[in-house]
């Protein structure tokens, strides 16, 4: 589990990685989850992208060096997280390709 979390954050762990580094990764993942939960308080309070997924506008929430992409179903009162990307990535290209690959 720890190595999976580190990999998602772009950190390569080896057997010589200290327990301190592992705790730091776990703390960062925990903070990201807490930031994602904050979206529920005011989901439409963040910027919309120009993209839609299955008829829903895709919103973007920046958090530190990451970008959260999600949709809001106001009728069902749900927020669905679609992707989390690092902010230095070409997110427009990635989201557009992801939408094409995941159309029904």
Partners of 73 in the β-ladder: 78
Rounded Cα distance, 1 and 76, in Å: 32
Quick one: pLDDT at residue 23? 84
* pTM, entire model: 0.77
Query: Could you tell me if 52 and 42 are in contact, meaning their C-beta atoms sit under 8 angstroms apart?
Result: no
Q: What is the pLDDT of residues 43-85, one digit of tens each?
A: 999 999 999 999 999 999 999 999 999 999 999 999 999 999 9
Segment 35-45 mean pLDDT: 92
Q: Both tokens of residue 8?
A: 């998602």
| Domain boundary assignment for the chain | 1-39, 42-104
């Amino acid at each position: 589990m720890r190595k999976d979390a580190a990999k998602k954050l772009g950190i390569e762990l080896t057997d010589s990685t200290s327990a301190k580094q592992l705790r730091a990764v776990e703390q960062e993942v925990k903070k990201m989850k807490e930031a994602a939960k904050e979206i529920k308080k005011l989901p439409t309070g963040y910027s919309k992208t120009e993209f839609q997924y299955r008829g829903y506008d895709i919103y973007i929430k920046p958090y530190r060096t990451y970008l959260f992409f999600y949709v809001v179903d106001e009728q069902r009162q749900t927020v669905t997280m679609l992707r989390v990307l690092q902010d230095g990535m070409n997110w427009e290209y990635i989201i557009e390709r992801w939408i094409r690959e995941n159309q029904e």
